[in-house]
Amino acid sequence: MKVVLFCGGLGMRMREDAQSAPKPMAMIGDRPLLWHVMRYYAHFGHTDFVLCLGYGAAAVKDYFLHYDETLSNDFTLAMSGRDLQLFSTDITDWNITFIDTGLHSTIGERLMRVRPHVENEPVFLANYADTLTNAPLDEMVRRFDGSDAVASLLAVPVQSTHHMLDIGDGDRVAGITPMRELTQWENGGYFILRPEIFDHMREGEELVPDALERLMPSGRVIAQRYKGFWRAADTFKDRAELEQLYYSARCPWMLWDTNRTGGSLAPALIS
């Protein structure tokens, strides 16, 4: 199943230390965010990627054109470096298509510009290139296949660390509730789509909410609710927290590496 990844945003809130690279190329350990997202999909057997490039496209292309397998795989070096034997590999079975989708394009426009690469697929996957999760993708796909939906997205609890105030008479605060305890859900990406989605898209619009809102009246958009690990690396703080998890070997999203997941089992989707 093909995987479309949106990699071309400016990432303004993370540009202080990466003036020429897009946000998905921010490093988590020895690999960029984008690699971690791709490795998640590869763990479930989806290794045919279409990268929607824009800002910092050269950085993405250069990274994969000069990919170093030794950074994340054990190996033996012999004959003064002339003989390198890898014990495992990351991307030898990956197929990666690099498409320039514009510097200032919306997510919807980026998806429309790679339409020729996915419109003949019965189902394809799409996602932001800077969000990590350990959600059971195989189960998400099975649920989608068993429905008549055109689009599915991962629904996660509100991620804000702020608090909601209940203000009563005389501006007296009557209650304080952490945003994450609200019974609301937010869009977590990890889209599963049928090509029919293109019939509901318009130039200059977004996938969310514009195209999905056109589908909602027919009941053909489903949410897959998940309360397990999900994190968007929107800020330096987010990235610092992910780095801390990485170096403490508590990386729930790294399903392909049991030494780094921390040994905890991921929760199931909410029925």
Residue 91 within a domain: yes
Query: Domains in the chain: how many in total?
Result: 1
Tokens linked to 139: 């189960």
Q: 44: domain CATH number?
A: 3.90.550.10
- Closest of 249, 7, 257, 250 to residue 107, by C-alpha: 7
Residue 45 within a domain: yes
Q: What is the pLDDT of residue 161?
A: 74
Q: How far apart are CA 132 and CA 81, in angstroms?
A: 36
Residue 221 within a domain: yes
Print the domain residue range for 217: 2-157+184-247
Q: What is the pLDDT of residue 78?
A: 87
For residue range 110-120, list pLDDT tens digits in order: 999 999 999 99
Q: What is the pLDDT of residue 18?
A: 47
Strands 185-187 and 151-157: antiparallel
Q: What is the pLDDT of residue 200?
A: 97
- Closest of 179, 108, 99, 132 to residue 32, by C-alpha: 132
Residue 173 within a domain: no
For residue range 24-74, list pLDDT tens digits in order: 999 999 999 999 999 999 999 999 999 999 999 999 999 999 999 888 888
Residue 168 within a domain: no
DSSP conformation class of 207 = I
Q: How far apart are CA 202 and CA 66, in angstroms?
A: 37
Q: Where is 128: in which H helix or E strand?
A: strand 124-128
Low-confidence ranges of the chain (pLDDT < 70): 11-20, 79-81
Residue 270 within a domain: no
Tokens linked to 121: 């697929």
